[in-house]
Amino acid sequence: MTNAKVASGPLSHLRVLDLSRILAAPWAGQILADLGATVTKVERPGAGDDTRSWGPPFLKDAEGNETKEAGYYLAVNRGKRSITVSLDTPEGQQIVRDLALQSDIVLENYKAGTLARYGLDEASLRKLNPRLIYCSVTGFGQTGPRRDQPAYDFLIQAMGGLMSVTGERDGQPGGGPQKVGVPIVDLMTGMYTAVAVLAAVARRDQSGVGDSIDIAMLDVQVATLANQAMNYLVSGKVPQRNGNAHPNIQPQDVYACADGDAILVVGNDGQFAKLCAVLGHAEWAEDERFATNAQRVRNIQILSAMLRHEFAQRPRADLIAALDGAGVPCGAINSVPEVFEDPQVKARGMLKYVPHPCGVQVPQVSSPMRFAHTPLQDLAAPPLLGQHSRQVLEELGYSAERIDQLQAAGVL
């Protein structure tokens, strides 16, 4: 069984050689695959991508037996083809060179200098294919004192300042630094990587020459400090952890209703006036302490106490319905199962099931991108380890006998 699909999507003309593993660069590869690119994932024989073993949970086959396909791996590798190649053999290195000759983009996330030992670095592959877009994704980049050090999302969330502004305030119950509940630096790094390689492709279409791209997870985290970074750079005041409260826009926080918590997200003075009307306190919108966002930020402790008192008197569903009707953003805090039961999420088709080679339908969270004229690639299940090794080598012109020899020698 193969997961090969008829090419569709806006990138159906591009071929990607994915030498990466774990999450950041593979996330970029999955984005490109969703957009229709042919993505060939090169994995270690016998082991594959590290995330294949990052469970439980593991996918169960048609008989209910646990497979070797971890949920973590299944989240990051749909739409790709898997070929196993031993990079420390001359034959394996030649296979990668052959793939690079037919590729538009190379994604890799080895430590700086590792692939040069195999003759598979940017300079070596560009000699074979000058039009190649070669993108290296690492924790700290190709330069600087930490260039040789490994990194993981958790470490970068800490080093890059994110944990200093995430979590409850010191001195409060549960206070202290917290990481984000998903590997957000990896995911954002994958997003930046996809944008960067597509920008390089656009330039190549004009110049005819490829490019080399250096993406560092720490750089990405520093860049995505966004308003918190600029708050500090403009004011000199060090941002602090503030629980769920927004540092610049108020009121935005979690408020306890009579029967559960609700999120309130007031984005402007007009929405605040509507909130006050729903709560039966229209006069609050005229109070000089709260009339503008800047004043509400300065006086949020007073305002928040007033709001908490009012929210605590009301059933959550009734209050959310009233605020929705008034155009004030407010909602419940959904669990992950509740997310996929949300009518809006269902209407957008964000959960799909696709056939998996182990004989079951594997769930996949859909791409959020929607195109009117170039529909995205149909979802294909994340591949089994080496599922497409023979197919890919046959496309490169390898004979059946030669493929058998490579398998017997442990190259595949």
- 284 DSSP 8-state letter: G
Is the distance from CB of 189 to CB of 24 less than 8 angstroms? yes
Nearest of 309, 305, 315 to residue 262 by alpha carbon: 315
Q: What CA–CA distance (Å, rounded) separates 106 from 396?
A: 17
Residue 205 is a catalytic residue: no
Q: Which residues have C-beta within 8 Å of that of residue 385, sequence separation ≥ 6? A: 43, 48, 52, 68, 82, 84
Is the distance from CB of 221 to CB of 161 less than 8 angstroms? yes
Active site residue: 34, 186, 219, 253, which one? Answer: 186
Q: Which residues have C-beta within 8 Å of that of residue 203, sequence separation ≥ 6? A: 211
Q: What CA–CA distance (Å, rounded) separates 167 from 151?
A: 22
What six digits make up the tokens of 94? 């030649």
Is the distance from CB of 326 to CB of 274 less than 8 angstroms? yes
Q: What CA–CA distance (Å, rounded) separates 65 from 51?
A: 19
What six digits make up the tokens of 266? 């007031």
Q: What CA–CA distance (Å, rounded) separates 31 from 274?
A: 40
Q: What's the one-letter identity of residue 249?
A: I
Phi, psi (degrees; rounded to nearest 5) at 56? -70, 165
Q: Which residues are catalytic?
A: 186
